[in-house]
Structure 1
Amino acid sequence: MDEDAFNMSVRKFLKTVGVTAQREIEKAVRAAADAGQLPADGRLKAKAVITLEGVPLAFAVGGDIELGGPSGG
């Protein structure tokens, strides 16, 4: 295995995941805001799940997304 090629490929994948996930989260939160469906505490629980086909890997990363502003403090 070429460690440099592997590292670059993983970084490229994670960059794509990050950019795509941010775009989708922003779209969903804006739609919820327009519909008046954001939580009163201004906080959303988030979870991302990563799996690899052909390799025994499945893990989740969770956290909170703070909305800030008038409804999110």
Structure 2
Amino acid sequence: MNDEVFNISLRKFLKMVGVSSQREIEQAVARALQEGAIAGTETFPATMTLEIPQLNLRTHFHGEIRLEDREP
């Protein structure tokens, strides 16, 4: 295995996932705001699943996306 090739391809994949995911979430929030489906003050629980079937890898990441800061 070539560690350098692996690390570069891994970083490219993660960058693509990060940029694409952010764009999708931003568009979904804008659409929901425009349709009046959300007020713009919500916090959304979010889950990301990473799957690589050939490695028998399936893992979940949990977090939240806030549209406003929480009150102190």
| TM-score normalised by structure 1 residue count | 0.85
Deviations along 1:1-28, one digit per CA (max 9) or x if unpaired, are 0111101111100000000000000000
Mapped to 1, the partners of 2:39 and 2:60 lie a distance apart of 23
Query: What percent identity do the matched residue pairs reach?
Result: 37
After the TM superposition, list the runs of 4 or more consecutive aligned residues in structure 1 that deviate by more than 4 angstroms: none
2:27 aligned partner: 27
| TM-score normalised by structure 2 residue count | 0.86
Number of aligned residues:
71
Closer, same or farther: CA 59–42 of 1 in aligned 2, 3 Å: same
Task: Structure 1 unaligned segments of length 5 or more: list them.
Answer: none
Residue type of the partner of 2:36? G
SS in 2 for 1:46: strand
**Offset at 1:40?**
7.4
2:48 aligned partner: 48
Deviations along 1:21-63, one digit per CA (max 9) or x if unpaired, are 0000000011111112126751011111000031110001111
